Amino acid sequence: MNKKGQSAMEYLMTYGWAILVIIIVIAVLFYIGVLNPRNVTPTTCTFPPGVSCSSFKLTENGVLALTIGQATGHRINVTGIACTQEQAPTSAVWTAQSKIITNGESAALTAFQCWTNAPAAASGTAGETAKFKMWMNYTEMDSPVLTTRQVMGDVTARYEP
């Protein structure tokens, strides 16, 4: 009769220690930041085919600077940029640009403000992650008819100092 009790106690103690070790390991991983959700969220900048985003930085006051590449088959002139958390940009959030990018090349676009909802500028503390929609207006320069187009991309960035 005593052997059954001893067997049950050994079973509970063995699994109890194993569970305790697992809890301690998870707590240590949270403490050193490995399992911090801020570190897990990837930063991305995606556009439709023909336009790419190779580098970007979002400052704590909501200013975004990025490098745009293009492979549309035409030389383009970027005429405006909008960055907002809204579903569609209002006239208040557009920043005028004038940057000519040849096919297969990339260019840095000057820093422009991202908005939470106009006229409220996006801001955050270093390490926080924010998600924006970004619109770019451009004109195809070497097509027979100057064609104006608009592309929309998604940016998920971490605020940096």
Quick one: average pLDDT of 47-73?
92
Quick one: average pLDDT of 137-159?
90
Name the band, by pLDDT with cuts 50, 70 and 90, for residue 121: confident
Q: Which of 52, 150, 48 is nearest to 101 (CA)?
A: 52
* 8 Å CB contact between 80 and 136: yes
For residue 63, the model assigns a pLDDT of 92
pLDDT tens, residue by residue, 76-94? 999 999 999 888 888 878 8
- Type of residue at 153: G
Rounded CA-CA distance 42/35 in Å is 13
H-type alpha helices, the chain: 2-32, 37-40
Backbone phi, then psi, for 19, in 5-degree steps? -65, -40
- Integer-rounded Cα Rg, in Å, for the chain is 25
pTM of the predicted model as reported, rounded to 2 decimal places? 0.73
**What separation in angstroms does the CA of 95 have from each of 51, 109, 147?**
19, 11, 20
For residue 52, the model assigns a pLDDT of 93
pLDDT tens, residue by residue, 1-54? 567 778 888 888 889 899 999 999 999 988 887 777 666 678 899 999 999 998
Q: Is the pLDDT of residue 118 over 80?
A: no
Q: Is the pLDDT of residue 69 over 60?
A: yes
CA atoms within 13 A on the CB side of 146: 7
CA atoms within 13 A on the CB side of 115: 20
